[in-house]
Amino acid sequence: MSTQTDTTETVSIATENVEDKDQKSSNTGGLSSKDVDENSLDTDPYHYTKRGEFTSEIFKIAIQNLPRYYGYSEFKKLFHKLGLKPKKIKSISHSNLAFVTFNNEEGRQAALKTIKGYQWKKKILFAKEADPVVDPVTAKRKNEAEEPEEDPKKPKLSAEESVVNAVTPLAHLPYEEQLAMKETAMKDFLTFLTDKYQSNIPEMRKWLNEQRSANDGRCISLESIKPSPIVDGYRNKCEFSIGKSREGKEKIVGFRIGQYKGGHTAVASPLPCKNLSPGSKRVVEHMQAYLDQSELRYFDVVSHEGHWSQLTVRTTERSEVMAILQLHPQELSKEDFEAEKQKLREYFTSGPGSSSGLTSLYLQLVGKSLKEKGFQTNFYLVLGDTHVTEELLGLKFRISQDAFFQDGRGLGGSNQRLGVVSVCCGTGTIGLSLAHRVKKVIGVELCKQAVEDAKVNAKNNGIENATYICGKAEDRLPSVMQDISDSEKVIGIIDPPRAGLHRRVIQTLRRCEGMKRLVYMSCNPYTAWNNFIDLCRPVSIRYRGTPFRLTKAVPVDLFPHSKHCELILLFQREDSISDSSEVPATSEGSIDQSEEPVGNESPITGEDTTPTEQTAGNEKPAPLSEEGQTAAAESQNKQEDKSVNPGMTEGAVDDVKEAEMKDEVDAE
C-alpha cells in the first residue's frame, strides 16, 4: 500500500537543481515514522516520503514537449512499446506536460534514459526528475503561518455550522426552492450536452437544430424533477470520519469540515445535519461515548499514527442497524485486538451501548501486512447478525457488510420475451424487482459480496430467472451479450460509478442490436458525458450497431438539502424510436481518455420515481495513499455504495468529484 495523495493544485516540478537530495526524497524513503521530527508535519511538505511507507512519488519524472493532442491510451501504449512500466500517469490539461511515477529508482532511470530525445508524434520529448507533490495539509499550515490573520470583524462559522454547510448547503432553503435550483442545473447540463453533440457528431446537426428550436436550445426537453417523499432523515447509509476537532479534542465521530487536498483534517459532529436518520444519530452518540473511554487513539491522516479511523452505519426499514468500526491495528497484537473486540461486545450488549439499537456490529481492519500480523480477514463480527435485510416492493434483500445496496421499482405489465441486463447491479434490487415480469435478468457487478447477496436474494425470493456475474463490466459484458441472440429483446439498465462506463462496455452495448432501449442513471452527468456521446455516434469500425438517440431525461432528487441531483436518461435505437411495443405497459401512470484529447415519469416504467441520496458531503479519512486517495483512483476503482430512501427507484453515490479527476488515471 502506498501513501501519497495527488492533487492538481499541488503538483510541483524540479526545474533547477534536480540532483538536490534535500529536495528529493529518494534517499529518505527508508526512514521510519519515528525518525521524522514531529515538527516536520507542520513544516516539511515532503514528510510523507520519510515514514518508511512506499510511495511512487519518490520515483517521479516530468515529461515535457508532448503533442498538443493525444489520447491517454496512446500515451500508455507508448510506455509499453518502450519497455517501461509506469506506476501512475498524470497528464496536465491544456499543457505539454505530464508526470509519471515508477515503482523504484531503476524504473525511473530507465525511463529518463529512454524518453530523453525520443520523437513521438513529430515532437522531441524531454524528461527530468520531478519532486513529489507537497502534502496539502502541511502546505496549508505553512500558508496560514505566513499570511496575516483573517479580518476579526468577519463572522467565523462554528465547526458544526461548517459541516452543515458542506453536507447540506441547501438546508436553509424551502424544499420547493431546492427542487427549482436542481431542475435549472439539469437544464444547464442538457445545454452543455447539446453543444457536445453538435461538436462531436456532425451527422446530428440537422436534428439538433430542430430540437434546439423546440426545446429552448437543448437537444431534448427536461421532464419535471421528481421530489423525494422523505426530505429529512433519509440517509440509510452514512460513513463518518473519526478524527480531531478544530478545537483539538480527539476521537470525534462526524464529518470532516473540508477536503484533505484542501488542507483540512478537522472533524465535527454530524448531529445537526438534517439528512441523517435517527438511527444513525443514535449510533454515533453511543460510539462517541465508547471511543471517549477507549485507550486507543484516532488515526491521524497526516502522520498515519493511531487506530480508529471511520464508522459506517446502515439502517433499514425493518429497524435493523449495522455498524462497521474501522481500525488500523498498527502494532497491536492479535491478543490486544481480541481484547478490544471483547470490550466492544460488552459495551454494546450489556453496557451503555445496549440501547443503541445495533443488530450487527463489525470491526474492520485496514492497513498493511495484516496476514503477517496474524489477521486472516478484514471484517470481524463483534455481535449480532452477519447482515441486515431490507424490504422493497414485496421482496426481501440481504445486505452484507461490504456490499452496496440500491433501490428500484420495476416495469409494470409483463413481457416474457424481454430480457434485462443490469450493469453495476449491486445486490440486484432493480433486476430482481423486474424478474417476475420479464424472461430473464442478467446482472454484472464488480463487488464480490454484492454478487453473493444478489444470488441469495434471488433464492430467498423464489426467483429463478436471474443470473449474477462478478467482474468488471468491460471484461464480463462481452461474453454476456454473446449469449443473447439478436432475436431477443433486451433493455439495458446502467447504474455506473460517477465517472461512467469503460469505452469497451459502450461498444458492447452498441453491438447488441436486440437492446432497443437503455436506461442510464447518472449521479454526475458532467463526468459521464463521453458515454452519452459514444452511444449516439454513427456506425464505424469502433462503434458498430445502430446508434442510440437520447429520447427522455428525468431529474430525480436523490439528495435533499444538497446541490446534487440524479439524472435518468433514456436512450433508444434510432431505428426503433417510433416503436415502443417491446416495452411492457406500466402498471402506474471512466472518463474515456483514449478518445478525449488531453487538453414526470420514469424512463423504465412510466411511474413516479423518487430516490434520495446516500452520503452527500461525507468525506472518508484521506491518508496519503497512492492507490486509494487520488481523485482519479477513487473515480476509477472505487465502487460507491448507493443507499436510498425506502421505495425509491435508484441508488445514489456520494458527493461529486472535481473535474480534474478526468486528468489522472492509474496506469495499473
Q: Cα dist. 208→215, 431, 489 in Å? A: 10, 34, 28
Place of cell 498538443: 68
Residue 445 known to bind ligand: yes
CA distance 601 to 269: 38
Cβ count within 10 A of residue 658: 14
* CA count, 13 A, side-chain hemisphere, 89: 21
Q: Identify the burial level of 516 via C-beta atoms within 10 angstroms of its C-beta, where 0-12 means exposed, 13-18 middle and 19 or more buried.
A: buried
Q: What cell does 66 get?
A: 508532448
CA distance 222 to 169: 24
Q: What cell does 314 get?
A: 446502515
Residue 335 known to bind ligand: no
What DSSP element (H or E) covers 140? Answer: helix 136-146
CA distance 111 to 641: 38
* Catalytic-labelled residue, pool 219, 425, 512, 523: 523
CA distance 363 to 359: 14
Sheet holding 489-494, edge to edge: 466-470, 438-445, 415-423, 489-494, 515-522, 566-573, 548-556
CA distance 537 to 533: 6
Residue-by-residue DSSP string for 414-451: -EEEEEEEEES-TTSHHHHHHGGGEEEEEEEES-HHHH
Q: Cα dist. 503→67, 127, 530, 532 in Å? A: 23, 30, 9, 11
Residue 310 known to bind ligand: no
Q: What share of the chain is helix, strand, coil (3-state, %, to 5)?
A: 30, 20, 50
Q: What cell does 242 get?
A: 473519526
Residue 109, helix vs strand vs coil: helix
Residue-by-residue DSSP string for 186-219: HHHHHHHHHHHHHHH-GGGHHHHHHHHHHTTTSS
CA distance 607 to 378: 41
CA distance 504 to 542: 10
Is 523 one of the annotated active-site residues of the chain?
yes
What DSSP element (H or E) covers 74? Answer: helix 72-81
Residue in 256, 140, 208, 187 with CA at minimum distance from that of residue 525: 187
**CB-CB contact of 53 with 3 (8 Å):** yes
**CB-CB contact of 647 with 512 (8 Å):** no
Catalytic residue numbers read 523
Extract the annotated binding site for S-adenosyl-L-methionine: 406, 445, 495
Extract the annotated binding site: 406, 445, 495
